[in-house]
Amino acid sequence: MSPSDKICDQNSGFLNQFCYNNPVSPKGPGTEKMDQLIIPRAEHSISRRMIDEEALRVLYRLHRHGFLAYLVGGSVRDILLGKTPKDFDVATNAHPHEISALFKNSRVIGRRFRLVHVFFKGGKIIEVSTFRSRSEFEEVQTEKGDIIRTDSFGTPAEDALRRDITVNGLFYNIADFSIIDYVGGMADLERQVIRTIGDPDERFQQDPVRMIRVIRHAARTGFSIEGQTYQAIFRNREEIRKCSPSRLRDEFLRDLKEGAARSSLSLMLQTGLLFSLFPGLERALGRGGLSEKKSRGFFLSLFDLVDQLFKTGRQVTESILLALLLTPFLRAVTPQHPFLGKREKYIYWAQSIHWAIHEILTPFSFPRGAKEMASQILIAQSNLRKSIKNGVIPKRLRMKKYFKEAVLLFGIEAEAKGEKVPRILQNAVSADLLPWWPKKLKTRDQRLRERDVPQTGVQESGRKTTLSAHPNRPLAGEEMQSSDPGKTGVSLLHE
């Protein structure tokens, strides 16, 4: 039974009544008319055992001092879906200075909208925010461009309505263990739908980054994007260029690092949002018949493998992610030139990489170090192919700080193409670099030693009996002292 089926079983009567009495408008939940839905503890699946201990301590301390204390956002959604939340966020009607006074192990952060971080052992942080009436990125400005309000404290209902999507607008009330739903989030969890809160065109124009977040949550959950919301992404995708480059960079990289990169990029390709973010990629992945289908398939296969790496606990650096992002573009703009010599081809390849990084990545304020490393990793692919052809990897290449990541990129590309990585490369790095490689590979020297000195594996009193490769050779030194006088050619070697 899927997590959504469990939600249906546990809340079916309550939700069916809610859906019939509160139909969702074509533009999303009727934010002005939406009634508060309170689901008592007996009719939902969230238990305090599922909530982080430190988060419970924060909730209870706020509650004991007379404040409202709600668990909010993705943590409520994830628990209802049967997942373990990464973070537990708390919202309250206490103001930042009041929260800080309750928790000595806390710090107020933020300029426009102040939050409180409560610190616990092991580096754990519980973020506590005051109920707000609008998003951080919906600013109220004068004609001169000055912000006339910094903090916009509000009610719980206003705080729910300012959020991006309905399934993230659910609150868990520690006072009576109920779920409070102002936005139709429980109904959309049952329907497995991602929907904006309010009119999607208006919400995307207020903050275009919401389009990335809608796609992210659809990719993570496997839910479908509600029709009006999906069409609004088409209509407003060019608005994304109005956002801060550094903010777009952070949001985009987050999509690649959470195990759902393939699904996110697939939805970005379908809606055209990827080309609004990176116009240069349209040359390689845009509409062009069979070549488009092949290029997109290869591109998505690369990030499907990235998802596998993250899910198995392996770290993939930003430089590798950027190199993979550029790979289909470089394949499109750097065709093989038979009239160029080897040296000229190498120079042409290196210059193409530098140009692609400047053309595609520079506008988004990616760290200089990550871009330089991505450049070195991509250029090294030519050196790796040459080493494979020659049958030896030069020591100067193996000693480069980017060598391991260059082999990692080579291995990901090879797997996406359905090719095998030559053993010369596999043996040059750790055997567990990629999960689809054999567990242990033996070097040529190891195989030769095993052929010359075979082991029987017989154990005698904690010692291993080993047959000499040359039974007629006289024993000398330690071999004579440790051997059995009645069995020439047999030595007992201590492990």
Active site residues: 87, 89, 164
CB under 8 Å to 138, separation ≥6 — which residues?
Answer: 162, 206, 207
Phi, psi of 455 (to 5 degrees): -115, 140
The C-alpha atoms of residue 324 and residue 246 are separated, in whole angstroms, by 20
Do the beta carbons of residue 205 and residue 236 sit within 8 Å? yes
And the tokens for 128?
């506590």
For residue 475, the 8-state DSSP code is: P
DSSP-assigned states of every residue in 329-344: HHHHH----TTS-HHH
Pair type for strands 125-130 and 89-92:
parallel
The sign of the torsion formed by the CA atoms of 449, 453, 455, 461 equals negative
Question: Burial of 19 by CB count in 10 Å (0-12 exposed, 13-18 middle, 19+ buried)?
Answer: middle
Helices 290-311, 318-333: axis angle to 10 degrees equals 170
Quickly count: other Cβ atoms within 10 Å of residue 295's Cβ.
20
- Residue pointed to by tokens 């806390």: 106
Q: How far apart are CA 428 and CA 425, in angstroms?
A: 5
Report how far residue 288's alpha carbon sits from residue 269's, in angstroms, rounded to the nearest whole number. Answer: 13
